[in-house]
Structure 1
């Protein structure tokens, strides 16, 4: 498995992952309605680490500056991590998180943060294994399929 920065040519494969990877336990069902014809419409290739396995793109991690002002410099945020269904349990997410840590160090960041649904136990466990700790809880933040879901803030100091 290799991890690299995305390029424009990855657009179609990443869009396919985006359309299939999310469900109500991990994301927002309404998000699917907002997807356009380009994965990079939301943010460009430079904001994405992508994983390749056996010559195919199998996952991505969107890593961006968390704040647009100088006082927040050095804090990055993961605004999405998805793995293709057929590549789950192969270490793709771990490879992407390791690459995000390396990229954070390369950029001189001091912290990487992320948000995760309280109901997404596999993701929370993965993040904890990679050194992320709970920083805050937003009770009943979202109403998804008739159930209130808390949002969790997690972060890792670099």
Structure 2
């Protein structure tokens, strides 16, 4: 077994191009929405979702993935609930602990912010991601049957959560 070379840090503005490239290739019909591709954009960061909303994973100094972590609700009654609104890892870095490192960092960041819960959504067809989330303590809170029609198939959306 190789030593874990994955490090996670906060994103910075200069990560924009590499994160856009990762976003362009990381999603397929089992995990994302073919009609909404990053190839349609010329920047990864937006005014609403800047570097502060992202954790970046590196192996040997090369950016290989990201996790978007945001407040789930814009009102005070929902304070303490953070949403993971995207996790992407380059194909070449999959199976090297990048997703786990990002989820561990999200848990640490959630605790640092005083959050009580992390939530995320995943396509029912994305079995690899589902296994990863379950290994990290996420449980299914809800199933949304036939939420999406992707490439002629109805896909259920699963809502998962982890209490901190």
Same fold per superposition (TM over 0.5): yes
The answer (yes or no) to whether the contact 2:87–2:99 under 8 Å persists in 1 is: yes
The yes-or-no answer on 1:38 pairing with 2:43 is yes
The root-mean-square deviation of aligned C-alpha atoms, in Å, is: 1.0
Determine if the alignment matches structure 1 residue 24 to structure 2 residue 9: no
The TM-score, its normalising length taken from structure 1, stands at: 0.98
Superposed displacement of residue 33, structure 1? 6.3
Structure 2 residue matching 1:114: 3-state secondary structure = strand
Structure 1 residue ranges without an equivalent (≥5): none
Quick one: distance in 2 between partners of 1:58 and 1:104?
Answer: 22
Q: Which residue of 2 aligns with 1:132?
A: 138
- Runs (5+) with no aligned partner, structure 2: 1-5
| Residue 11 of structure 2, aligned match among 6, 11, 23 | 6
Moved over 4 A (4+): none
Query: Displacement of 1:35 after TM fit?
Result: 3.5
Q: Which residue of 1 aligns with 2:80?
A: 74
Match of 1:100 among 106, 117, 121: 106
Compared CA separation, residues 33 and 44, structure 1 to 2 (3 A): closer
